[in-house]
Structure 1
């Protein structure tokens, strides 16, 4: 396993990164693609994830073969093919449609802190996944997901909250994801041993 760094993102082989930024202790899996996105501290994506036009918080856990912020084709036009906007690929006397690419990049997906995006999940553009939420494997998320909610299905629907009433709000107020590296290390034993409510009682 790699030793992650506070200053350099760890890129596995065949990873592709363009126009993206990373916080401390980030990792991009084998063959993953990250385009026009940002990953907060401690966030990672596993192998063959495809992430575009997305703002990702801290401590996000993104499983393999996920697709986040997948780009759309211009389906209202006479054709939806690449030649409309990647025109330079086909003709020497024309340029690509810069306005189309700008509009596409502006449709941001947002992934909150301490989230878990399951294997093979798809999260559409302009969707927000709240802090602490879980997206089940294979889900297709087309609508915003509240904090600490578990969603599943195609299209995804809420299954149940991750915590009992009141715990999610207290966890967000605690905001442990903003603790510094030393404080996280000092609390590591409690992160491992205590369930959420007990952890809150100790650190609130």
Structure 2
């Protein structure tokens, strides 16, 4: 994993993270072959190998696995406001910005950090979906466009709606268990290259590598 602060841009993808120049990255890390699209805002996140984001994506306090596909206008772990105070306005904890105190209220930020989102490998998150605080999404899952995910999602489940609910599994449970055991996303690059075209044929893949 490579620590990233400033945006980078390459004409083609490479082992180096490809970060669009318009995106804002703060205290985050990205693995090899990661691509971050335009106008993203990413705060204190870990993004593993081959994962990519499209435009206008927000990611806060999250751990994201390998080969995950994040569509446009997705928001992962939106930040909450303190509803138990007289005012919900962020001046009560971003006090320095408003010249109301010499320090910010770090308890709010510590609380946000303690409710990270965890997204597994090979997950597809559809356009405009929102993944709420503290949620875990299993490998191979699909999050439908516009869904609001408030609960954990099992591996290879398809969830849709507001709030998101499971509508089916992508495969039979035996196939899911086998894919999780194979864990192809952990293959090193040279093995991926050797077996690349086999990823297109589920039955052959399962028979060969289970």
* TM-score with structure 2 setting the length: 0.92
The structure-2 alpha-carbon separation of the partners of 1:200 and 1:125, relative to structure 1 and needing over 3 Å to count, comes to: same
Q: What is the distance in 2 between the residues matched to 1:12 and 1:198?
A: 38
What does 1:81-120 align with in structure 2 at a 5 Å threshold?
A: 81-91=89-99, 93-120=101-128
Contact residue 148 and residue 164 of structure 2 kept, 8 A: yes
What's the CA shift string for 1:38-70, capped at 9, x where partnerless? 001111111110000000011111111000011
Deviates more, 1:181-190 or 1:60-69: 181-190
Unaligned stretches of 5+ residues in structure 1: none
Task: Give the secondary structure class of the aligned counterpart of 1:158.
Answer: strand
Contact residue 167 and residue 197 of structure 1 kept, 8 A: no
What does 1:24-103 align with in structure 2 at a 5 Å threshold?
A: 24-91=32-99, 93-103=101-111
* TM-score with structure 1 setting the length: 0.95
The alignment covers a number of residue pairs equal to: 201
Task: Give the secondary structure class of the aligned counterpart of 2:121.
Answer: coil
Q: How big is the alpha-carbon RMSD for the aligned residues of Structure 1 and Structure 2?
A: 1.3
Q: 1:174 aligns with which of 177, 182, 186?
A: 182
Partner of 1:165: 173
Contact residue 137 and residue 154 of structure 2 kept, 8 A: yes
Unaligned stretches of 5+ residues in structure 2: 1-9
Q: What is the distance in 2 between the residues matched to 1:84 and 1:92?
A: 9
Q: Which runs of 4+ in 1 moved over 2 A?
A: none
Q: How far is 1:191 from its partner? A: 1.3
Task: Give the secondary structure class of the aligned counterpart of 2:173.
Answer: coil
Task: Give the secondary structure class of the aligned counterpart of 2:83.
Answer: coil
What's the CA shift string for 1:123-162, capped at 9, x where partnerless? 0010000011000000000000000000000000001001
Q: What is the distance in 2 between the residues matched to 1:174 and 1:2?
A: 33
Deviates more, 1:32-41 or 1:100-109: 100-109
Q: How far is 1:105 from its partner? A: 1.6
Q: What is the distance in 1 between the residues matched to 2:209 and 2:11?
A: 30
